[in-house]
Amino acid sequence: MLGERSVERYREAGINWWDYCGSILVNSYPTYFEKLPPLIAKINREKRNSKNYVLFLGETGAESNQAPCLSLVQFQIDDCELVLSAYQRSSDANLGLPADIYHLYLMSRQIELPLKSITLNLGNVHIYENNIERTKKLLAANEDVKFDLNVG
């Protein structure tokens, strides 16, 4: 959420899936999520039942080296409970989807209200061919499965 753009900084932390993007991330997840902390502060300050608070990560017309799969997150307050809804244009079912659901949950924990529900609408859900056998093993309760990232 701090908007780190240097791929090298991620590599130093053991995260190398951004390597294919170049040395600096341009309008990608880290930079889009810079918008999140001020939005969360506004929600916590206002807590208005009649308002939909929206984090839009979709088309900006700006150059990008990694268009976000998660395009829109809406925070709505219903009877003093948080209703979180999101739209995701693309989702790798065995790699990204579990992490995306968890990230939405983590966002919800930043709001000073009880969570009522999370709804995630998915435009495209897929498993890459090179991970089909590993996915079958995971579904058969093998917890030692390692997936290949599909980037490039």
pLDDT surpassing 90 at residue 9: no
Q: Is 69 a catalytic residue?
A: yes
pLDDT at 96: 80
pLDDT at 28: 64
- Determine which one of 57, 69, 83, 104 is catalytic: 69
For the chain, domains (ranges, CATH) are 7-139 (3.30.572.10)
22: left (phi over 0), alpha (psi -120 to 50) or beta: left
* pLDDT, tens only, 101-152: 998 999 999 999 999 999 999 999 998 888 899 889 989 998 888 877 665 4
* pLDDT, tens only, 12-28: 888 776 676 677 776 66
pLDDT at 60: 62
* pLDDT, tens only, 55-106: 887 666 666 656 677 888 999 999 999 999 999 988 888 878 888 899 899 9
Number of residues in the chain: 152
* 53 phi/psi in degrees, rounded to 5: -95, 125
Q: What is the pTM of this model?
A: 0.77
